Structure formats: C-alpha cells, structure tokens
Structure 1
Amino acid sequence: MISCAKKIRFFFVLSAVVFFVELRAQKSSISSVDSLKDIETIISKENNSKKDTIELKKRLSFLKKSSSKKSQILYNALLANGYSAFFDKINSRSEQYYLKSIEEAKKLNDSAFIIWTQLNYSKYLYFYCQIDRLIPIVLKTMDESNLVDPSEMIFPHETFKFFGWIMSTVEDDSAISYYKKSMQYMQKSSSESAGVLNAIGNCYFRNKDLSNALHYFDQSEDIALQVGDSVRYAKILGDKALVYEEKGNLNDAIRFLKQDIQYSQKFKIEKNEMYASILLARILLKLKDTSTTEKILERAGEIASSKSYYRSSLKEVIELKLSILNGKNLSKELLLRRQLKQIEEYLLNTNGNTVLQRSHWLIQKEKYENDTEKIRLQLEEGERTKKIYIIIVILTLSLSFVLYYSLNKKLKEKRLKLQNDRLLFEQKLNDASTDISTYAEYLKNKNKQISILENELEEIKSSTSIQSEEEKVKLQEVLSSHLMTDENWNAFKREFIKQHGDFYNTIMENFPELKESNLKIIMLQKLNLNNYEISSLLGVTTDAIKKSKQRLKKKLGERYDLLFEIIDK
C-alpha cells in the first residue's frame, strides 16, 4: 500500500512539472512574437511544414491563444498558407484568412506586417495565376515598401525577390534591379542566391543579351554545385540550353536539356521536367526527329494535365503535337484542336496573353500616374501643374483605348467572320445547281452559325457597358439574318416539292387540314432535322416545336401515326 501511494504522489508531481514547463515554453513563444528575428523563425518553420491542416492548427494554437495583435496576424496568414498547400488551388478558406491577416495588420498600422501580409497573399495569387487580382495589390505593396527601411521589413530579400518575379512576368526591365536589391539581404552562397542569379540571367536572356545571361547562369550554377542544390542545378541546365539554342548550337542545347530532364526525374521535380521536355521537343522538331518528339510530348502532356495552373504548358504541348500531325491524321487533329480551343478560352480568363497584356497596361498606367504625381509635387507654378494634368488625361485616355481595343477585338472579329461565312455560303448556294441536298447542307450550316451566335450573346449577356450593348445588338441582327425568313421558306419549299413531289402530294391529299406552320415542321423533319435544329432555324424554342406536334396529334387523332410513318419512309 505504501509503495502504491508513493507511485501516485510521484505521478502527480511529474504531471505538475510537465504542465508548468509547457506553460512556461508557451508563454516564452508568445512573448517572442514582438521580435523581428523570432517572427521570421516562426514563418520559416511553417513554410517547410507538411500539408496537414489539423496538425497546423495545433502548432499555431499558441499564436491564437495569445493576446498579442501580431500573433493573431501571424496565425491567420500562416493558416491561409496551410490551406493553400493542402488544397493546392484557389480556395475560400485561404482567401478568408489572407484577407483577415491584411485587415488586422492595417488596424495595427504596422508597416512591416502590412507589407508582409500583402506579399504573402500576392504569392498565393501569383502561384495560381490570378494575375488580374494580383497586380493592384503588388503595385500598392511596392509603393509602401519604398517608405520603409528594408532592415525593418520581414524577410526583405523575399520581398524584393518577389517584386522581381512580378516585373519579370510582365517583362519590365526593373525586375533586374529588384533581384539585385534582394541579393543585398541574403546569404551570398545559398540555394536562394543561386535562384536569384538564375532569374537575373533569364531577364538578360529575354532582352537578347546572351553574354550577360550566360554569365549569370554560370554564377548560379557554381553556387548550386557548391551548396549541393541539385534541383536548382537542373533548372539552370535548362536555361543554359535556351542560350545555346539561340546561338544555333542545337547539339549542346539538347545535351543540357537531357541532363535537366534526368535530374528532374531523379528528384521528382515534375514541373521542371515538363518545361525541359517541351523545350527539348521543340528543338527535336526542328531537326525532324518526330518519333522521339512524340514520346517526350506524351510525358510532358501527362504532367501538364495534372494541374489546372499548368494549362499554358499544356497549350504548348498540344500545339507541338499539331505541328507533328500536320494533316496526317484528321480525326486526331480535330480532337487536339478542340482541346486547344478549350484551353485558350480558359487562359483568356486566367493567365493567358490577354490577361498578361491587360495587367502590363495597368502597371504602365500606374507608373505614369506615379511619375506625374512626383513631378506635380515638385512644381510650384500653377501653369506647369496644369500641363501635367493634361498629360495624365492624354495617357489615361490612350491606355483606356488600347485596353478596350484589345478586349473587344476578338468579339468583333468573330461577328464579322460569321457574317462573311453566311454571305459566302449563300453565294455558293446561288451559284450552284440548286437541289434539296444543297438546301439540307445550307440548313445544317445555318444551325451551326446560330449555335455560335447564341453562345456569343450568352457570354456578353452579363456585361453592362455601352460598347457591349452595341455588340449585342449587332450580334442579334446577325442572328436574325440566319433564321428562316418567308422568302427563304418559299425557295426551300419549291425545291422540296421538286425532289419530294410524291411525298408532298401524299401529305396534302391525306391531310388537307395541315397549316403552313405544320408543313414547315414536317418538311424539315423529312430532312432528318431534330427538334432543336428545327427550333433554331424557325427562331422559336424547342418546347414550342414539341407543343406544335402535340396539338397536331390531338387534331389528327389516329391518323397522326400514319403521318409520321409517311415521313419516315
């Protein structure tokens, strides 16, 4: 009994010690949030954590329980990152916590936290190709970073590196200066510095400065090998291949890309393997090695299809496959072209060229406004200030015009093409020896055009702009011109009777009570048009066609089945 009592007493003492040690450790963690160094330590630790959100909440519980405002900001921002990693796509939970962290940082009026939370959210938008939403936030964060000493920022090297990424995306030359600025605040020989040097090399390559590009790629390669970063080394090999391809040295380019793919497969870097494979396929296609190219593209296509944010790469894969086919397999080519159309429509609303161009214009507009604002503040004379305002108005109007033109050009081109297609087909119809088979083809063509027009009208239905309203009216006019008019019907009826005279006479003899509206449906159905196609041509709903048939059935009674037996023959 005495031994048992001692054990119980020892257990309680041990439990109390563990409780107070944990409590002390928790208090220590919470109190350390006010230190910039410790804040960065917490962020770094969570950036390398696993995707388990339940476990993440447990790890971050000490922040949530803290009364510190900074702890709450960190909790929401890091939880947002956790949900992003878990879902691996744009999701409502991440959005909620990102925006909450930004809001709390602004309430606290802490510049370091405002910049970091906005940057944290921007990385999320950038990674999932939400370029339109990203640009305004980044522009604002850039302006705010100019007012803060970099030494007071949270991860200044990450901040300036990300600005470099953004400017590189829209092909702005300021990217290089941001990258070089980030180098001032990071360890010189590290995977991160190798990555930045590689990015600078890519900027020079884009500007066709191959000498500087290769210089920075070589520097990046030396550091990657020095620190043992095989992943970075693989990416550098692919970038160097681009330089050698540009120089016309295709053999060296192929050699680098094959090494890149080998490293990427070894370390399971699918994204890099995909990029390198597409580059290699493009070069091999120049050398007419189609069999090897097809095998490489199959693997690249598998990776590109696995993530929605790889669709721009999937577009490249399909375009290369079409280049290989070049009319040799029409059915396969048709399938690929349908896929390509779907991807292009998706990219137009996410990370496609149209969005990037629009974002680029937004950046240019913001830069012009910022420049003119600085000049205006420096000017004291009213007349010079007035001239600056005029410049701003001209630039704004010019940019607005370009933006409007780029967004509406595609829609106008489609409308004109539909009009031209209709006129061309009708001209062919007039020139050809007219028979009922020609009309059948003509009606099928009209149905296709009507379907396209209806889709176009549906796409712009939600728009409220004056220009969109005008475009709706024009498209509606084109749609009306495709419907079967009385004149077209009479011409069609004459040709129908010529070819199907016996059928027409049988119908009229046995069913004299049929109206002209009934005859339209009967004749079109005789040509194997379904309810939807008939309704499209006549400009009515499918339900209206069904109801018309129901009324006819009621009117004819038992003779209704006889009518459709005659039609089917």
Structure 2
Amino acid sequence: MTTKRLHILRFGLFSMPFLWLMLGMPTLNAVQGAERPAYKPFLFTNLKDTAADRRVEAARALSRPCRKMTEADAMRTIDDLGKIAADLNDLALQCAVFDLRADYYSVNRGYNQLSTQYYKKAVELAEERKDQMLTGIYQHRIANYFALYKKNIEAAQYYLLSERNLKETGYKKVPGIGNIFSETSNFYYALGDYDGAREYLKNALIYQTAPSRTRINIFNTIGLTYRNTNNYQLALNYFHEALKLAGQLHDTIWIALAKGNIGSVYVLQKRYKEALPLVREDYVQSVKYNEGANCAIAMLRLAQISLSFNDVKLASAQLDTANQVLSTTKENVLKERIQYYELLAQVKEKSNKPTLAEHYLLLSEQLKDSLMERDNVAAIDRVRLKWTKEKSLEDYNNLQIKTRINSYKQYTVITVLLLLMVIGVLIFNRQRLKTRKDKEILAAELRRLDEERKSAENALSDYTENLKQKNDIIEGFKTELERLQYAINDRTLTENLDRMMHAHIMTDDKWDEFRKLFTKVHGNFLFNIRQRYPAISATDMRLMALIKLKLNNREMAGMLCITVDGVKKAKQRLRKKLNLADNEEIEDVVNTL
C-alpha cells in the first residue's frame, strides 16, 4: 500500500521541515494575518539543568514556536540558545544552534541559501572540533534538507559522507542510528533505487529491535522494495512479518496496511481468489480512514479481480467508483489513472464496444508517455547517484583495504603480509605514476593539437587577410591601369602592371597552399563536399571554401580574378548544382558541411 498515511509513517522520522511540508502545512510566508508568537527571552533557560545527552533534543522541542515568529524575533531567541551553548561549552548544542537557524529559513522560505549556509556551518564546526560522530549526524541533517528539495546529487554526497563518519565512529555509539538508516532509505526509495533503500532498511532493523510501529514500517517497506522489483516471494515474507508484528501490537491500521500489500502481491501473481478478501478489507479500511488514493488503488484491484472472474457488470461499477475517487484526490495518481483506462478498455472490449475500448487504450498510452518522461528524469538521477555512490564507496574501500592490511600485523605471518603490503603499495604507486604520466602525455598532446589548431586558424586568418589587402591594392592598380592605358602608349609597361595585378590570383599552387591551411582549421569540409556533391568542380569547391570563410562578393571576386557579377553568376550555377530550393541559402548549406 503506497498511501499518504504510509508515506507519513515512513517519512515521519525525518527532521521537522520534511514533516512540515509533507503534511501540506503552510509556511509563514503563506499565512496571511496569522498572529505570530513574540520573542521569548527565557525560552531555553532550563536547558542548563538538562542532562548533556538530552539537551539537543530538548532544545529542538522548545524551539518549535520559533518557526512562527518574525525573522528578527526568531533569530534573537536562537541567539539566547547560542549564549547558553557557549557558556556550557556544549559542542552538540552549538551545532544545533546553526541547525535551528537553517530549520527556520527552510520552513519559511523553502530551499534557500541561508539554510544551506547554516547547515554547512554546523558540519564545519563539528569537523573543526574533530568530533566525527557530530560531523556525521549534521552531514545527515543537511542531506535530509537537500533531499527534501530534490537536490539529489548534493543529498547523496552528504548521505555517503555521513555514513562513512558514523561507521568509523561505531554505529552502536550513535544515538538514533536506526532513525538515521530509515531516513536514508527513504531518500533512495523515493528515487526508485530499491536495492539501495533495502540495504539501509535492513541496517535499521538491527538497531530498531523493540516491537514498534517503526519496526513494522521497516518490514513493510522492505517488502515494497521487493514487490517493486518483482521479487514477490520475498515481498510476501516481509509483509507477513509486518502483519505478524502488527497483530502482536494490536495495531489495526498496520494490520490493514500489511493485508492490503499482501493482497496486492496476490493480484500481481494472479492469485485472485486469495487476493479478493484481502483487497476488499484494504478498501474498507481505506474508506474508514479517508485514504482517497488508496481507496482508488484497492478498487482498481477489485475491478481487475472481477474481470478475471468475467463479472463485467461489477467491474464496470467498481471502475466508476475508482474514477470518482481519482477525480477528487490531490495526490499524484498518474499510474492509477493509466490502470483505470486499461481496465475500462477491457470492460468495453468484453461488452462488444471495440471503438470505446480502442479509445480508452489510446488514453492510457498517452498517459504512459507522460509517465515515461517523468520516469526518465528519475532514471537519470539514479544513474548520477549510482556513479556518485560508487565513486565514494571506491574511495572508502581503498581506505578500508589499507586499514585491514595494517590489522594483519598481529598475526604470525606478519613478515609475509608486510611484504605483500609493500608490493601492493609499489604496484599501486606504479600504476598511479603510469596513470599520471598517461594523463600528462594526453594533456600535452591535447595542448599540442590545440596549439596547432590555433596556429592554423591564425595562419588561415593571416592568409585570408593578406589576400583581402592585396585585393584592395589590386583595385587601386585597376584604376591606375585604366588611367595609364589612356595616358601611356607603352604596351610593355601596361602588360607588366597587368601581371602584377594578377599575381595574387588563386592559382593551383596557391590553392594547394590555401587548402592545406583551410583543412587544418575546417577538418573534413572539402572531403564532405566531394562525398555529398561528387559532381562539384574544383572551381566550385574554391568558391564554397571562400563562402565558408564568410568573404563578401568583392573579396571573392578579387581572389578568383573575376568580376563581382561573375561571382554572383558562379553562385547561381552552384545553387543549381546543389539543387537548392528558393528559400535555401548557399551560406546555410555550406555551414552545415
């Protein structure tokens, strides 16, 4: 059963901002005209007489009214707690002061930089005082904060750091370690990392030994992780454990929850006769406790069972009820709505209404696209988190290996083990040096290629600019030549001037020089032209290369020793060879090559 009631029971172990938002309670910014409590100067006075191991817990309980104060009054009240913490030289309480400031801004502003900074200050203070256990605890609390606001990568990093510090401290020494494991499991469960969630839940069982709702919830959630990964037998084992413990505690809510989950597995296994009484009871209890979403889920299962018995009329009525509930619930019921349309399509098919059946199947497929899009985002997060976790675990395992090697010194084979350790270190160092050297070689090669590319770009730019300058000179020569042809009858002189004017023309030799520079910068451009347009002539290729360099018609005319009109006509011929449409530009085609 995945109802809001179950989520509250499961997530209830989170820090108060989690519960505050998950219950739909308004933040102070959302409360209009509500009377706020005033500054309380003696709120924390009695903490001085409280046992050291209970001060933080007591301070958190006393500070709850601060959430509804104005910012000035809240900070002033927490300042009083800071003075008490300093007077008592209580590091845990000093860290809690930062934590409570962060909590105030989180409740009132959601995700914000002030909360982030204060949570980090709590961690930094614990690290500065070299208290590994407090460091781990406050790393866990900032992880909860990031998880609440879907900052999943940051949350995963802090969860892993916290786990490492608390493990090295010794889990048995950490107060509330069972709750910490449960909260961490909720993070991975929410992201669909059921294997990761299950690992933390099983650790939580070790430290939540007393019969309680918390222990029932752990059994039940482990069952959900197995059910969600299609391991139905193990799921049933854990659901039965939850049901057994709920029976011992006479907890009617959890009895109904566990039975509903057992029934859900039976439905998945198509054991409909066994599922029917359990799912029916699940529905009754959901109605009793006004659990809208779960009412719909149970009713959809009942409709599925009715269809398996070919009771189309009953299934149709049950789907009508499910639709009414789904239409009024505020929870995310996308999966349930998909199932509703699929079952309704089956009802219409069995009622000889194939057109309606096809219509409802189409609706379900459209919703599946939306669900897939949402799941793809979650899948990307899981991949990123998996990489983060594996990287962190790899680093941690390397440290653990060194620690185990050191512990072998007490055995009689100390000499051999020390030798192996030395060899291992040498191999490790050699590999590290080799890796470092490979990285340096690769970096040097990349720098060399980058420098070559930049050099080629500069050379091509200089070459092109030089040609442009020559064009300007040649234009002057043309004007002067025309004047001299009228003023001077010396044919030899005018021919020499004409040869000077054409000295810059892109001859075959100059084209080869130009092509070498161009290819270094623009890679496979010329090759791609040949592959895509095999009928293109050498002259067309030169024109396309100049277009690639974004030269204007006058500059191209000068370089190709033709008129501007000649360039325009060459472009028109090129357009025909490239089979371009009227709305296509040569420049756009060239830039795609």
Q: TM-score, normalised by structure 2?
A: 0.49
Which of these residues, 100, 103, 116, is aligned with residue 137 of structure 2? Answer: 116
Q: State the distance in 2 between where 1:286 and 1:45 align.
A: 56
| 1:250 alignment partner AA | Y
The answer to whether the aligner puts 1:156 opposite 2:184 as a matched pair is no
SS in 2 for 1:188: coil
| 1:155 alignment partner AA | G
Q: State the distance in 2 between where 1:249 and 1:211 align.
A: 13
Which of these residues, 363, 367, 391, is aligned with residue 393 of structure 2? Answer: 367
Q: Please name the residue that 2:338 is paired with.
A: 318
Deviation at 1:314, TM superposition (A): 1.3
Structure 2 CA distance for partners of 1:37 and 1:252, relative to 1, 3 Å: farther
Contact 1:53 1:83 in 2 (8 A): no
| Residue-by-residue CA offset, 1:49-103 (whole Å, 9 max, x unaligned) | 799734999899754422226446435545655776788xxx335x642541232
Q: State the distance in 2 between where 1:390 and 1:300 align.
A: 65
Deviation at 1:192, TM superposition (A): 0.8
> Structure 2 unaligned runs (5+)?
1-39, 86-90, 347-353, 406-420, 437-581, 586-593
SS in 1 for 2:211: coil
| Residue-by-residue CA offset, 1:140-163 (whole Å, 9 max, x unaligned) | 222222122334434211012233
The answer to whether the aligner puts 1:220 opposite 2:242 as a matched pair is yes
Q: State the distance in 2 between where 1:222 and 1:291 align.
A: 35
Aligned length: 364
SS in 2 for 1:92: coil
Q: Please name the residue that 1:15 is paired with.
A: none
Structure 2 CA distance for partners of 1:254 and 1:539, relative to 1, 3 Å: farther
Q: Please name the residue that 1:328 is paired with.
A: 355
Matches within 5 A, 1:11-410: 26-29=44-47, 32=50, 35-43=52-60, 53-54=68-69, 62-66=77-81, 67=83, 68=85, 70-71=92-93, 73-75=95-97, 77-78=99-100, 91-93=110-112, 96-109=114-127, 110-126=131-147, 130-166=151-187, 171=193, 173=195, 175-176=197-198, 178-186=200-208, 188-205=210-227, 210=232, 212-270=234-292, 272-273=294-295, 276=298, 289=312, 290-292=315-317, 294-295=319-320, 297-299=322-324, 301-302=326-327, 306-307=330-331, 310=332, 313-318=333-338, 320-322=340-342, 324-325=344-345, 328-329=355-356, 340-349=368-377, 352-372=378-398, 374-375=400-401, 378=405, 379-381=421-423, 382-385=425-428
Q: Please name the residue that 2:481 is paired with.
A: none
Matches within 5 A, 1:487-566: none
Structure 2 CA distance for partners of 1:539 and 1:187, relative to 1, 3 Å: farther
Q: Please name the residue that 1:420 is paired with.
A: none
Q: State the distance in 2 between where 1:157 and 1:44 align.
A: 20
| 2:158 alignment partner AA | I
SS in 1 for 2:210: coil
Identical-pair percentage? 15
Contact 1:220 1:236 in 2 (8 A): yes
* Higher relative contact order, chain-length normalized (CA < 8 Å, sep 6+): 2
Structure 2 CA distance for partners of 1:273 and 1:323, relative to 1, 3 Å: closer
Q: Please name the residue that 2:553 is paired with.
A: none
| Residue-by-residue CA offset, 1:463-504 (whole Å, 9 max, x unaligned) | xxxxxxxxxxxxxxxxxxxxxxxxxxxxxxxxxxxxxxxxxx
CA RMSD in angstroms comes to 4.7
Q: TM-score, normalised by structure 1?
A: 0.51
| Residue-by-residue CA offset, 1:427-446 (whole Å, 9 max, x unaligned) | xxxxxxxxxxxxxxxxxxxx
| Residue-by-residue CA offset, 1:144-191 (whole Å, 9 max, x unaligned) | 221223344342110122334455565565655533432343361211
SS in 1 for 2:263: helix
| 2:284 alignment partner AA | Q
Q: State the distance in 1 between where 2:99 and 2:150 align.
A: 20
Deviation at 1:368, TM superposition (A): 3.9
| 1:162 alignment partner AA | E
Structure 2 CA distance for partners of 1:206 and 1:333, relative to 1, 3 Å: closer
Q: State the distance in 2 between where 1:280 and 1:80 align.
A: 47
| 1:35 alignment partner AA | A
Structure 2 CA distance for partners of 1:82 and 1:384, relative to 1, 3 Å: same
Structure 2 CA distance for partners of 1:367 and 1:299, relative to 1, 3 Å: farther
Contact 1:281 1:296 in 2 (8 A): no
Q: State the distance in 2 between where 1:213 and 1:332 align.
A: 32
Contact 2:102 2:118 in 1 (8 A): no
Structure 2 CA distance for partners of 1:147 and 1:215, relative to 1, 3 Å: same
| 1:363 alignment partner AA | K
| Residue-by-residue CA offset, 1:331-351 (whole Å, 9 max, x unaligned) | 7766665555445434544xx
Q: State the distance in 2 between where 1:260 and 1:222 align.
A: 17
| Residue-by-residue CA offset, 1:192-219 (whole Å, 9 max, x unaligned) | 1111122233345567665554343233
Contact 2:236 2:262 in 1 (8 A): yes
SS in 2 for 1:142: helix
Q: State the distance in 1 between where 2:386 and 2:328 align.
A: 29
Contact 1:244 1:253 in 2 (8 A): yes
Q: State the distance in 2 between where 1:60 and 1:254 align.
A: 56
Matches within 5 A, 1:448-487: none
Contact 2:133 2:165 in 1 (8 A): no
Q: State the distance in 2 between where 1:52 and 1:374 align.
A: 43
Q: State the distance in 2 between where 1:132 and 1:179 align.
A: 21
Structure 2 CA distance for partners of 1:120 and 1:218, relative to 1, 3 Å: same
Structure 2 CA distance for partners of 1:55 and 1:368, relative to 1, 3 Å: same
| 1:117 alignment partner AA | Y
Contact 1:135 1:359 in 2 (8 A): yes
Structure 2 CA distance for partners of 1:176 and 1:345, relative to 1, 3 Å: closer
> Structure 1 unaligned runs (5+)?
1-21, 394-536, 541-569
Q: State the distance in 2 between where 1:280 and 1:130 align.
A: 38
Q: State the distance in 2 between where 1:274 and 1:390 align.
A: 62
Q: State the distance in 2 between where 1:156 and 1:340 align.
A: 40
Q: State the distance in 1 between where 2:207 and 2:392 align.
A: 27
Contact 2:55 2:93 in 1 (8 A): no
Q: State the distance in 2 between where 1:363 and 1:278 align.
A: 38
Contact 2:188 2:197 in 1 (8 A): yes
Q: Please name the residue that 1:531 is paired with.
A: none
Contact 1:194 1:223 in 2 (8 A): yes
Structure 2 CA distance for partners of 1:231 and 1:180, relative to 1, 3 Å: same
Q: State the distance in 2 between where 1:248 and 1:337 align.
A: 23
Q: State the distance in 2 between where 1:376 and 1:392 align.
A: 20
Contact 1:118 1:137 in 2 (8 A): yes
SS in 2 for 1:119: helix
